[in-house]
Structure 1
Amino acid sequence: MNYQFPKDFIVEVFGNYNSAARNIQGKNPQSITYSIAARKQFWNKKASIGITTTNPFNKYIKQVTTVDTNDYNSYSVRQLPLRSFGISFSYKFGKDFKKDKDISNDYLNEASQGS
């Protein structure tokens, strides 16, 4: 999801959720990640500078996996370091091409007139 504020300032938010899933022997873990970004466009929208962060409020993603069988039980916890921060700069080279030709539907009018 993104929102464009006045003066070419854009904020973007992205989230991803993978639900826990059962398998034959137990359960695979769920995971949740989210990213937040902001960028400012300038030079007639040909350039932009931005900042981004992924999971800024969580140092780790915690995943719990369980395996249950008649002969074996397992419970494991993984902590994945998935926090990041970044900056970006983008520049569009060349010209923006615009179509000079207007699309005409004259053939539809001719067909309806029986020509």
Structure 2
Amino acid sequence: MNSLWTTEEALWLEGADAFERIMADDCLMVFAPMGIMRNAEIVESLRHAPRWQSVSMSDRAEARPAPGVLSLAYRASAQRPNSAPYEALCTSTYFETGEGWRLLQHQQTPL
């Protein structure tokens, strides 16, 4: 679903405000070395992190394990100003609500 790929890119590039709009109340994320994080903790950590200036997503894959549930998997190549490129394998799971899609889970494995 193309619109969720656009949503996923917005999470990389737009920061905390995008996460507040898109995350489910009980969203979980896993980042090395930060560990397991939940909704409010995720947003707070993003407020102090430098934003990505670009991201490309290759090796895209999708799974629909049930109606209203969609998982995305991809290889991310991202860049921040004055930093080395960041490469990771990522997954995100969304579920559909009456108000649109919400992010339930995101995980990154740095390469």
TM over 0.5: no
TM-score, scaled to structure 1: 0.29
Relative contact order (alpha carbons < 8 A, sep ≥ 6): 1 or 2 greater?
Answer: 2
